[in-house]
């Protein structure tokens, strides 16, 4: 099955924990995170990829952030890609120089989830227009306003469609494209609902259901399975804790009724 790839964002930082945390946040917001741990790796990645945005630390080995900024003019593809410097170095000392070398913005570490969302809306036109469009379509009395849903599927086109549909119902939406990231986000976010495909890379949907049980979460996380698999494997989803199993393609009205029914029991 062919699908449009998710837009990517390059994270350049030598701190593995920061890369991992930002990667999880970006993945949940519908982006594919790319990673580089030093200046040389960053330039190599940018020579072969065209991310929507670059998050660049200054204190890097093998060529610091200034080295990267100075070399970016050699990459024609970078002319339209914003580079956001995020650093623990003093803004008064380094922001002006970073901008003179081509940085679009300078933000101080630590970068909060709110800071990240603001940056994406400011510097990625598609992110802003997509959010505005979804909000414009949302009814004034969205039935699930304020609740969160994690959408888990490896089909990027389906994820985008589900994202719009769930936002129209009032949900805050997060996405994962494989079993491993789905489990991490469930542990981190403890969403109010999960819509889960079974045919996933890095641990299929049954494995995700099994892991949810082992996480020992503070509250129950109901899961609706949406799958093209039929027969015994799909039926096993109930044994592993799924509340409902729907066969793809799922009719929108059926999905809405199922969500109402499942969340009424929570």
Are both 89 and 164 inside the same structural domain? no
**Residue 133 domain flag:** no
Are both 205 and 247 inside the same structural domain? yes
Question: Three-class SS of residue 172?
Answer: strand
Contacts of 190 (CB under 8 A, 6+ apart): 217, 218, 219, 221
Are both 150 and 199 inside the same structural domain? yes
Are both 147 and 255 inside the same structural domain? yes
Q: How many domains does the chain have?
A: 2
Q: Which residue has the higher pLDDT, 229 or 132?
A: 229
Are both 198 and 92 inside the same structural domain? no
SS (H, E, C) 212-260: HHHHCCCCCCCEEEEECCCCHHHHHHHHCCCCEEEECCCCHHHHHHHHH
Are both 100 and 186 inside the same structural domain? no
**Residue 48 domain flag:** yes
Strands 244-247 and 8-12: unpaired
- Condensed to tens digits (0 to 9), the pLDDT of residues 61-102 reads 988 999 999 998 788 788 789 999 998 887 777 888 898 898
For residue 41, what is the enclosing H or E element?
helix 39-48
pLDDT of the residue at 80: 84
**Residue 2 domain flag:** no
**Residue 136 domain flag:** no
Are both 72 and 184 inside the same structural domain? no
Are both 56 and 78 inside the same structural domain? yes
**Residue 134 domain flag:** no
**Residue 24 domain flag:** yes
Rounded to two decimals, the pTM is 0.52
Are both 148 and 244 inside the same structural domain? yes
Are both 167 and 250 inside the same structural domain? yes
**Domain at 45, CATH number:** 3.40.50.2300
d(CA 211, CA 82): 38
Are both 14 and 114 inside the same structural domain? yes
Are both 164 and 221 inside the same structural domain? yes
Question: Three-class SS of residue 192?
Answer: coil
**Residue 1 domain flag:** no
Contacts of 84 (CB under 8 A, 6+ apart): 53, 54, 55, 56, 103, 104, 105, 106, 107, 119, 123
**Residue 103 domain flag:** yes
For residue 39, what is the enclosing H or E element?
helix 39-48
CB 123 within 8 A of CB 84: yes
- Condensed to tens digits (0 to 9), the pLDDT of residues 148-185 reads 999 999 888 788 888 878 888 888 888 888 999 899 88
d(CA 69, CA 56): 9
- Condensed to tens digits (0 to 9), the pLDDT of residues 9-47 reads 999 999 998 898 888 888 888 888 999 999 999 999 999
Domain that holds residue 259: 142-264
């Amino acid at each position: 099955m062919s699908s449009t790839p998710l837009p990517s964002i390059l994270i350049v930082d030598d701190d593995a924990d920061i890369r991992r945390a930002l990667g999880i946040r970006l993945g949940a917001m519908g982006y594919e995170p790319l990673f580089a741990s030093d200046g040389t790796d960053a330039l190599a990645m940018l020579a072969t990829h065209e991310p929507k945005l670059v998050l660049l630390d200054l204190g890097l080995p093998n060529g610091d952030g200034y080295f990267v900024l100075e070399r970016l003019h050699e990459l024609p593809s970078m002319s339209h890609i914003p580079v956001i410097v995020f650093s623990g170095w003093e803004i008064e000392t380094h922001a002006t120089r970073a901008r003179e070398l081509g940085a679009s913005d300078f933000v101080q570490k630590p970068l909060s989830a709110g800071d990240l969302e603001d940056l994406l809306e400011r510097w990625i036109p598609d992110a802003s227009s997509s959010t505005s469009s979804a909000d414009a379509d949302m009814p004034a009395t969205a039935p699930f306003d304020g609740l969160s849903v994690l959408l888990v599927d490896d089909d990027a086109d389906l994820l985008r469609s589900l994202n719009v549909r769930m936002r129209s119902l009032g949900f805050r939406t997060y996405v994962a494209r494989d079993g491993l990231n789905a489990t991490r986000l469930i542990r981190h976010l403890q969403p109010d609902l999960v819509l889960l495909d079974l045919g996933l890379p890095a641990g299929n949907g049954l494995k995700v259901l099994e892991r949810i049980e082992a996480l020992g979460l503070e509250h129950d996380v109901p899961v609706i399975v949406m799958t093209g698999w039929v027969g015994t494997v799909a039926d096993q989803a109930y044994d592993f804790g799924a509340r409902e199993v729907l066969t793809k393609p799922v009719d929108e009205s059926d999905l809405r009724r199922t969500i109402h029914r499942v969340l009424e029991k929570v």
